[in-house]
Amino acid sequence: MKDVQFNPAEESSYECFNCGTVVRSTTQTRCPECGAGMRNRRTPIE
C-alpha cells in the first residue's frame, strides 16, 4: 500500500466532526455550519 502524496497548495476535503459538512480547502478551518473542528478526509480514523 502506498501513501498519498501531499501537496500543501492543493485543495483537500475536510469533514466536520460534529455535523458531517464537507468543505474543500487548502487549509484546515472550523466548520462553516456549526463551528466545530474538521479533519482531512484523507487521514484514516483508526
What does the alpha-carbon distance between residue 28 and residue 17 come to, in Å, rounded to a whole number?
12
Residue 28 confidence (pLDDT): 79
CATH dotted code for 1-46: 2.20.28
**Which pLDDT tens digits describe the chain residue by residue (46 residues)?**
566 676 777 888 999 999 999 999 988 789 999 999 999 888 777 6
Domains in the chain: boundaries:
1-46
Rounded to whole angstroms, how far apart are CA atoms 32 and 1? 34
Predicted TM-score of the model (pTM) = 0.72
pLDDT given at position 43? 79
pLDDT at 13: 92
pLDDT given for residue 20 in this prediction = 93
Give the C-alpha distances (Å, rounded to integers) separating 11 from 6, 17, 24, 27, 29: 10, 19, 6, 8, 12
pLDDT of residue 1: 59
CA-to-CA distance for 11 and 1, rounded, in angstroms?
23
